[in-house]
């Protein structure tokens, strides 16, 4: 499904209502909820969140992560940056516990938010998007979420447009090769 980001007009679609595992696109909802909590003031950008072993213990060695370790406290800003810029599953799980109070609490927030946004064919069972039974969405619902995310929280672009992300010894270059390209350049 291709949607004009300004008008919301659907330009082309094929099987846009087929329910599928959304994988890392699930983190769009995690970001939406985290940014909403920041906007409402229930979480602050500079607040430090302790990393719990139970949160990061679920992250497999082959998953995207920012290599959080149990014990240290990490600023919410770093967690949001890792979530959006590096698609870090460990950041998603730590933020979910902080914002939702527990994994189950965050799952409920995800599903309540989906209903509030009109995402009728979405159900979330994980904040990271790792393949999990009961975690599904459609291209149409994900386009609704993406449009609302960038409209309601334009600061999302600050993180998603970062060309480099670093946390401790971990560094990652954004996979979007269009970042940093000058559209006016003819070279």
Determine which one of 44, 87, 161, 169 is catalytic.
87
Return the structure tokens found at 85.
């810029």
Is 27 among the residues known to form the active site? yes
Catalytic site residue 24? yes
Residue of 7, 27, 48, 151 with catalytic role:
27
Are the C-beta atoms of residues 30 and 145 closer than 8 Å to each other? no
Q: How far is CA 108 from the centre of its chain?
A: 16
Select from 34, 150, 136, 158 the least CA-distant residue to 91.
34
- Round to whole Å and give the CA distance between 138 and 26: 11
Q: How many other CB atoms are there within 10 angstroms of residue 38's CB atom?
A: 19
CA distance linking residue 50 with residue 153, whole number of Å? 25
161 catalytic residue (yes or no): no
Three-class secondary structure of residue 10 per DSSP: strand
* Spatial CA neighbour of 153 closest among 117, 179, 187: 117
> Could you list the active site residues?
24, 27, 87
């Amino acid at each position: 499904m291709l949607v004009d980001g300004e008008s919301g007009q659907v330009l082309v679609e094929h099987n846009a209502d087929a329910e599928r595992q959304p994988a890392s696109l699930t983190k769009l909802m995690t970001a939406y909820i985290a940014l909403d909590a920041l906007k409402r003031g229930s979480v602050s950008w500079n607040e430090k969140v302790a990393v719990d072993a139970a949160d990061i213990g679920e992250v497999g060695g082959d998953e995207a992560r920012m290599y959080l370790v149990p014990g240290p406290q990490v600023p919410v800003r770093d967690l949001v940056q890792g979530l959006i810029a590096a698609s870090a599953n460990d950041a998603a799980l730590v933020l979910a516990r902080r914002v939702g109070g527990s994994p189950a609490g965050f799952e409920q927030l995800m599903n309540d938010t989906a209903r509030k946004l009109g995402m009728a064919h979405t159900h979330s069972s994980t904040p990271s998007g790792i393949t999990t039974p009961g975690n599904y969405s459609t291209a149409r619902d994900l386009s609704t979420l993406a449009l609302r995310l960038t409209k309601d929280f334009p600061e999302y672009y600050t993180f998603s447009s970062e060309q480099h992300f670093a946390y401790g010894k971990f560094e990652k270059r954004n996979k979007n090769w269009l970042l940093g390209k000058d559209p006016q350049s003819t070279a």
